[in-house]
């Protein structure tokens, strides 16, 4: 066996297993630009403050992006996760008003998680079991969830106890904010799950559902489970978002869905299923957030901000197509 | 030793209004190879799929080890020890060889993680079964996507055998293997048979059935019409059961048509990424076969002629230089290509037969469209080709393999091509359709059409073509015709060894 060949096989496997390579490069570039443009970034304490304020804002979207990635790995798409954030957000906002009854508050949080799981099951049932088109179906169910949110809380309101929001916003450990620990915990859990049977089944189902079925994998169950994971993570995102803002709004998650999908694609996850990584999606959210920060640092008109943001999203969505165009020409 | 018996009795299956299986019965016991034979559309793959739980049956019984069983999905069949080798169906292209083979039966470590080291070493062991018949790129860590069809098929076989089945169904498992790999598979089949496995072998290739099967069950139009002991039977007997009446399968006498002296196609120093200085010329009305092991550049040659591949070199058609760099240019010169994979390259499966037949021809029917004329032309060609179909409006996906292939050929015949390129057109086509197809080629040659036919079936080339070019590694290794065109020469030259033939 010649070395060149082994090297090539290693490289192609590396690329397949680490689909985030491109996003890692973009991440380094945008972060470098941000740190250079940000005045006094390296003074004492500033870095921790920047990390804390940025990551506590990004964490809800990161949760959604992770859920979205798992659904996409299984060959589906979930356009309803943002609406689930809105729904969870308003339920928490109207229910949790004081910290005197921790048990009651805890039950509410469990209830929100249950709603996420049920909604995810509903999405999965319609798409995987009934065989409906995921894009249309979850777009439709998103109206159900956001409609419910609007019914519960027509006007933004909320009075989440300070003690709770402070704990989320300001907790750091060794200069590292809580949000980063949560991200690390999720990625580590995934690393374990990925190398279990469930992980293999998920990649097989997304890669070629017929093949998975012929091999004896319960394709429908796996698919439904991905939507339930997405619903679960959307509920966690709702809890975190509520802690972040301290109040509720029926439109709070509306913009998150597209950002999460864009981040997943930017992170190297394939819309066709069966290939991608959660780490890439986390990088994707960070990249999009950093670019947003860069735009505001550059003191552009607000109209241009929206335009640049939209351009970035379109470029990210188009990147897989452009890359494969280049590969074909070779 | 455990003794196994599987007995399928009077199985029926309807798809909508179409009867796929009317009375399918077979039984197979441990230590035996049962051949399941039948023309396309006779219901043999339906029967095989019902046995493995891929599709459900309408009525009938499966008795497995003297117990009535129902396999509702492939998983249930796997667990009971019934496994099938599908044709590239069950591999995930984006996963590696090892991941695919051990999918859904991963060896686990104590904490429930997939034991990657073990999967890789076990995969190596399995690959050793086919040692020497595949390229060095087939390794446990190679992506399925990067493998050629024959190696995918090997992985498919290994995947099935890794499950230690009691009953193994080989569904056209040899279709994409070359002769060395088939040899290897057959010796393995013999070994498995001696280990008391029960094997069901579904194949179109008569010689293979006679080599490894003990018994054969013949299906015709959804009925089990007979069962023969191979040792006491003959090809003619099985064919007559398949067709329902005596009919000649192969044509033994070679077409001795008068070929004009006019040179139709001349290829000089053709080079592509696969081909290496290919030279040959073909006369008008000549039927030239292209042979050799699979994947030696045969398809590449045909696609280059059709302007579908980049090439260097000179090609002339009736004295005119071909500068085809796009299929459209080649079509204008009167070249037609029937591609190898009809499902993806030859047909729009969900569109109607009419649309498919006229896909390259609509321009001829003007604007506004002369739809009546188009329909009558389509009907004419359907009649010529003896196509079995409900109507011209039926989607191509509703047709059997043989008839679908007729649509692919028909759409080019409507253009009256001067040069017809055929890329393994009879792969997966039943015997009856093949015979019709052979007659069609004869008629075309008589009317002066020049034909280049690549076939992976050596016997077909010998029966059909007065002249065969044998390719290996992108070279034309031999140009066989007349007395030198024998099966022995064809095989030895295609293996690149012991050439006792005359050089071209």
B143 to A13: CB separation less than 8 angstroms, yes or no: yes
- Residue A186 vs residues A64, A66, A261, B464: alpha-carbon distances, Å: 12, 9, 18, 65
Inter-chain touch A217–B75, beta carbons under 8 Å: yes
CA–CA dist A233, B164 (Å, integer): 40
User: Could you tell me the sign of the dihedral formed by the alpha carbons of B115, B120, B125, B129, in that order?
Assistant: positive
Residue at A75 is within a domain: yes
A208 CB neighbours in chain B (<8 A) are 91-94
Between CA A6 and CA A8 the distance in angstroms is 5
pLDDT of residue B471: 87
Partners of B480 in beta bridges: B468
Distance from CA of B290 to the nearest CA of A (A): 29
In a structure prediction context, what are the per-residue pLDDT tens digits for chain A, which is 330 residues long?
456 666 776 776 676 666 788 888 889 999 999 888 887 777 777 888 888 889 999 999 999 999 999 999 999 999 999 999 999 999 999 998 888 888 999 999 999 999 999 999 999 999 999 989 999 999 999 999 999 999 999 988 888 888 888 888 888 888 788 999 999 999 999 999 999 999 999 999 999 998 999 888 999 999 999 999 999 999 999 999 999 998 899 999 888 999 999 999 888 888 888 888 999 999 999 999 998 888 888 777 778 777 877 887 788 778 777 766 665 544
Q: Is residue A18 part of a domain?
A: no
Model pTM score: 0.74
At residue B324, the pLDDT reads 65
pLDDT for position A40: 78
Does residue A5 fall inside a structural domain? no
Domains and CATH numbers, chain B: 5-243 (3.40.50.300), 253-334+417-504 (3.40.50.300), 343-416 (no CATH)
- Tell me what pLDDT residue A9 has: 67
**Calpha distance B477→B488 (Å, rounded):** 14
Kindly write down the DSSP assignment for every residue of A176-228, as one continuous string. EEHHHHHHHHHHHHHHHHHTSHHHHHHHHHHH-HHHHHHTT--HHHHHHHHHH
d(CA B126, CA B135): 15
**Which among B87, B92, B124 is the top mutation candidate for probing chain A, defined by the most A β-carbons within 10 Å of its own β-carbon?**
B92
Among the listed residues B350, B57, B451, B438, the one whose alpha carbon sits nearest the alpha carbon of residue B222: B57
Q: In this structure, is residue A33 part of a structural domain?
A: no
Residue A121 placed within a domain: yes
Phi and psi angles of residue B277, each rounded to the nearest 5 degrees, phi first: 30, 75
Instruction: Report the number of distinct structural domains present in chain A.
Output: 1
The rounded distance, in Å, linking the Cα atoms of A82 and A64 is: 8
Nearest CA in chain A to B113: A196
pLDDT at B485: 82
User: Of the candidates B93, B112, B136, which has its C-beta nearest A208's C-beta?
Assistant: B93
* Max Cα–Cα distance, chain B, nearest Å: 76
Nearest CA in chain A to B140: A9
Residues in chain A with CB shorter than 8 Å from the CB of B90 are 210-211, 214-215
How close is the nearest chain A Cα to the Cα of B51, in Å? Answer: 13
B103 and A215: CB-CB below 8 Å? yes
Between chains, do B93 and A207 touch, taking CB under 8 Å as contact?
A: yes
CB pair distance less than 8 Å for B103 and A195: no
**How close B138 gets to chain A, by Cα (Å)?**
11
Interface ipTM = 0.83
Give chain B positions within 8 Å (CB) of A268: none
In sequence order, what are the beta bridge partners of B472? B475
B194 to chain A, minimum CA–CA distance in Å? Answer: 26
Q: Looking at residue A323, what is its pLDDT? A: 67
pLDDT of residue A159: 84
Q: Is the backbone of residue B341 left (phi > 0), alpha (psi -120 to 50) or beta? A: beta
Identify whether the C-beta of residue B33 lies closer than 8 Å to the C-beta of residue B214: yes
Interface test with B, best of A12, A209, A216 (most B CBs within 10 A): A216
A100 is a domain residue:
yes
Which residue bears the tokens 């001696």?
B194
The predicted pLDDT at position A91 comes to 95
Ordered mean pLDDT values, 10 residues apiece, chain B (504 residues):
83 78 90 84 83 89 90 89 82 90 89 90 91 83 85 92 92 82 92 92 81 90 87 79 53 54 86 86 89 81 86 85 81 86 80 85 78 85 81 82 84 87 82 81 86 84 87 84 77 58 38
Which of A214, A269, A270, A330 best probes binding to B when mutated, by most B CB atoms within 10 angstroms? A214
Domain housing A182 = 47-254
Interface test with B, best of A211, A271, A272, A329 (most B CBs within 10 A): A211
Residue B250: what pLDDT? 43
> Do the chains contact at A207 and B106, CB–CB below 8 Å?
no
Residue A238 located in a structural domain: yes
* Cβ separation B139–A203 shorter than 8 A: no
Cis peptide before B294 (omega within 30 of 0): no
Please check whether residue A266 lies inside any domain of the structure.
Answer: no
Q: Distance from A204 to chain B by nearest Cα, in Å? A: 6
Query: What residues in A contact B146, CB-CB < 8 Å?
Result: 12
């Amino acid at each position: 066996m010649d070395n060149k060949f082994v090297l090539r096989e290693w490289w192609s496997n590396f690329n397949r297993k680490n689909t985030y390579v491109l996003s890692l490069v973009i991440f380094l570039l945008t972060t470098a630009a941000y740190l250079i443009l940000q005045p006094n970034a390296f003074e004492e304490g500033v870095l921790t403050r920047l990390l804390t304020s940025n990551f506590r804002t990004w964490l809800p979207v990161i949760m959604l992006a992770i859920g979205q990635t798992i659904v996409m790995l299984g060959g589906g798409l979930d356009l309803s996760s943002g609406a689930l954030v809105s729904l969870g957000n308003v339920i928490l906002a109207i229910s949790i008003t004081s910290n005197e009854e921790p048990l009651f508050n805890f039950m509410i949080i469990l209830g929100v998680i249950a709603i996420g799981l049920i909604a995810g099951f509903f999405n999965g049932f319609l798409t995987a079991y009934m065989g409906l088109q995921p894009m249309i179906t979850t777009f439709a169910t998103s109206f159900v969830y956001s409609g419910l949110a609007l019914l519960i809380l027509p006007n933004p309101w909320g009075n989440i106890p300070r003690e709770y929001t402070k704990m989320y916003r300001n907790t750091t450990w060794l200069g590292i904010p809580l949000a980063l620990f949560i991200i690390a915990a999720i990625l580590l859990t995934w690393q374990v799950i990925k190398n279990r049977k469930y992980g293999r089944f998920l990649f097989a189902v997304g890669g070629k559902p017929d093949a998975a079925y012929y091999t004896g994998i319960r394709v429908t169950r796996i698919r439904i489970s991905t939507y339930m994971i997405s619903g679960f993570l959307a509920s966690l995102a709702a809890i975190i978002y509520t802690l972040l803002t301290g109040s509720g709004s029926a439109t709070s998650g509306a913009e998150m869905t597209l950002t999460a999908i864009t981040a997943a694609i930017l992170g190297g996850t394939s819309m066709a299923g069966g290939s991608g990584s959660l780490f890439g999606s986390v990088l994707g959210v960070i990249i999009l957030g950093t670019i947003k920060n860069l735009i505001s640092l550059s003191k552009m008109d607000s109209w241009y901000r929206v335009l640049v943001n939209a351009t970035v999203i379109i470029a990210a969505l188009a990147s897989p197509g452009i890359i494969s165009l280049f590969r074909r020409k070779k | 030793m455990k003794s196994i018996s599987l007995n399928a009795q009077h199985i029926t299956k309807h798809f909508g209004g179409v009867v796929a299986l009317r009375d399918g019965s077979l039984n197979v016991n441990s230590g035996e190879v049962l051949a399941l034979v039948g023309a396309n559309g006779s219901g043999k793959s339906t029967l095989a799929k019902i046995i493995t739980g891929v599709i459900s049956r309408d009525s009938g019984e499966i008795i497995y080890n003297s117990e009535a069983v129902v396999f509702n999905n492939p998983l249930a069949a796997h667990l009971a020890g019934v496994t099938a080798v599908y044709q590239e169906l069950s591999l995930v292209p984006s996963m590696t060889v090892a991941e695919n083979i051990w999918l859904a039966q991963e060896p686990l470590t104590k904490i429930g993680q997939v034991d990657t080291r073990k999967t890789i070493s076990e995969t190596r062991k399995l690959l050793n079964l086919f040692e020497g018949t595949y390229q060095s790129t087939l390794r446990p860590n190679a992506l399925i996507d990067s493998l050629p069809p024959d190696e995918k098929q090997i992985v498919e076989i290994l995947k099935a055998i890794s499950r230690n089945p009691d009953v193994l169904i080989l569904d056209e498992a040899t279709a994409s293997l070359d002769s060395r790999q088939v040899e290897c598979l057959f010796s393995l089949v013999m070994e498995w048979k001696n280990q008391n496995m029960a094997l069901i072998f579904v194949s179109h290739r008569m010689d293979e059935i006679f080599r490894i099967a003990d018994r054969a069950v013949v299906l015709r139009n959804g009925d089990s019409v007979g069962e023969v002991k191979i040792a006491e039977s003959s090809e003619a007997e099985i064919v007559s059961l398949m067709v329902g009446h005596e009919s000649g399968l192969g044509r033994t006498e070679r077409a001795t048509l008068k070929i004009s002296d006019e040179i139709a196609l001349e290829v000089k120093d053709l080079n592509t990424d696969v081909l290496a200085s290919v030279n040959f010329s073909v006369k008008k009305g000549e039927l030239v076969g292209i042979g050799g092991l699979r994947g030696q550049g045969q398809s590449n040659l045909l696609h280059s002629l059709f302007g579908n591949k980049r090439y260097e070199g000179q090609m002339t058609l009736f004295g005119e230089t071909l500068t085809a760099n796009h299929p459209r240019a080649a079509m204008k010169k009167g070249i037609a290509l029937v591609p190898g994979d009809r499902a993806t390259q030859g047909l729009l499966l969900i569109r109607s037969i009419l649309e498919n037949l006229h896909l390259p021809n609509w321009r001829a029917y003007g604007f506004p469209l002369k739809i009546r004329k188009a329909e009558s032309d389509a009907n004419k060609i359907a009649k010529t080709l003896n196509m079995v179909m409900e109507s011209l409006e039926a989607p191509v996906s509703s047709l059997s393999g043989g008839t679908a292939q007729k649509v692919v050929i028909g759409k080019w015949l409507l253009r009256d091509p001067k040069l017809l390129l055929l890329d393994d057109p009879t792969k997966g086509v039943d015997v009856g359709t093949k015979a019709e197809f052979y007659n069609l080629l004869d008629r075309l040659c008589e009317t002066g059409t020049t034909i280049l036919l690549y076939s992976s079936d050596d016997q077909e080339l010998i029966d059909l073509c007065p002249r065969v070019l044998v390719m290996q590694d992108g070279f034309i290794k031999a140009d066989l015709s007349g007395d030198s065109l024998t099966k022995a020469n064809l095989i030895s030259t295609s293996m690149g060894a012991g050439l006792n033939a005359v050089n071209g």
